[in-house]
A = this chain, B = another copy of it.
């Protein structure tokens, strides 16, 4: 059995040997995705897409509770419309894809495939809002966007990726700022409840903020290899876009005013975060609430009728309770099945064999730590709820311990250099933009978020200028 196990597992590179190769191996061998014939455009296979659907279902429930409506905006943006907000176009123009032909004829105006849809929402809001009574509008859309990235990696950076983008407009700056903060909170919560990922949240520096935003806030996750991954953002636009697009309304004093705006989004990049936060050398490790299949039941000596019956009965009971369960009845050895469901990261494996059944027992194996426990078979259905919760919480705490152990405080450039080479987050007090530029150039590290902390030194060790911010740095994807 151990040998068969190896046969399957051997196919993936170990993390320590080559983390990037390990990542690609997991993406392919767990059948999350496949490459298409256009570089940077991936195929989301059923197993990968089902993870995304679970994220969609979770977020749609949250969005509905908080009064957001789903809509769908066009795929393309006329170049002239795209150019209306100056900072925005400067940020995105270099990576746009353009449609120049339609129905065999050259188009009079280039159409840009949406890299993000701010300008489309602005144009629409301008048409449908006239009074404070029409506000707020809180819209969200699920779609794919295209950004012509040079270096691409499955889920992490693609020419096309799937995401949700929320776009809201409000009567007051205060309300819009609250929206920005609330959505960040929803994302952070999703980390804890659904993905078992402890996101560090905070504001982005001026250098790192979104093109056109006044403030950008982010959720950041720390990968196994010590690199950070920006996993979602929430922006406060103030009136930048509403002035550029003329989204005016009559306020309750009957005066014309421009709306205050936000946008926020997470993408299929979250799948990359799940892989690199939880995965191990045996493959994917999925947190239970986002897992397409939560439980696999594997018959040992499946030719025996009592084994087959026990598998069937237990799976029915679990399905009836709403768990996502399957019985692996394929014509392969248990060892092969074990290694396959490990590769696919199924959170909970139940082994049912004739010897255990004699004692009315089954063996449960939790994927994230490999622990095996025997339980009375009749007790299992009632146990699952607590077990899944425990797995999610333990995975979260394990990931949190990794963040804590890999967050270091630097007071000198030498310390910063040492720590950043160790991987993980490094806290540093800096003077601002110039310090960030130097750090990026010398250490290939970027500011992840500004920490809401008092500076613990007064002179920036990078520029020797006055400290203005405490910033969390990391090398990042």
> How many residues of chain A get a CB closer than 8 Å to chain B's CBs?
55
Check if A49 sits within 8 Å of B72, measured CB to CB.
Answer: yes
Q: Which residues of B contact A369 (CB under 8 A)?
A: none
Q: Which residues of B contact A98 (CB under 8 A)?
A: 99-102
A50 contacts chain B at the CB level, 8 A cutoff = yes
Q: Smallest distance from the beta carbon of A413 to chain B beta carbons, Å?
A: 35
A123 contacts chain B at the CB level, 8 A cutoff = yes
A127 contacts chain B at the CB level, 8 A cutoff = yes
Check if A97 sits within 8 Å of B101, measured CB to CB.
Answer: yes
Q: Is the interface of A mostly helix, strand, loop or mixed?
A: mixed
Q: Which residues of B contact A81 (CB under 8 A)?
A: 37
Cα A70 to Cα B110 with chains together (Å): 33
A42 contacts chain B at the CB level, 8 A cutoff = yes
Check if A41 sits within 8 Å of B74, measured CB to CB.
Answer: yes
Q: How many copies does the complex hold?
A: 2
Q: Smallest distance from the beta carbon of A340 to chain B beta carbons, Å?
A: 14
- A69's nearest neighbour on chain B, judged by CB, is B46
- A73's nearest neighbour on chain B, judged by CB, is B43
A33-64 toward B: CB 8 Å interface, digit per residue (1/0)?
01011100111111001101100000000000
A92-135 toward B: CB 8 Å interface, digit per residue (1/0)?
01111111111110000011010000001001100110000000
Cα A149 to Cα B113 with chains together (Å): 18
Residue in B50, B77, B93, B97 whose beta carbon sits within 8 Å of that of A102 in the complex: B97
- A75's nearest neighbour on chain B, judged by CB, is B160
Check if B102 sits within 8 Å of A159, measured CB to CB.
Answer: yes
Cα A43 to Cα B72 with chains together (Å): 6
Residues of A within 8 A of B (CB): 34, 36-38, 41-46, 49-50, 52-53, 69-78, 81, 93-104, 110-111, 113, 120, 123-124, 127-128, 139, 143-144, 146, 148-150, 159-160, 162
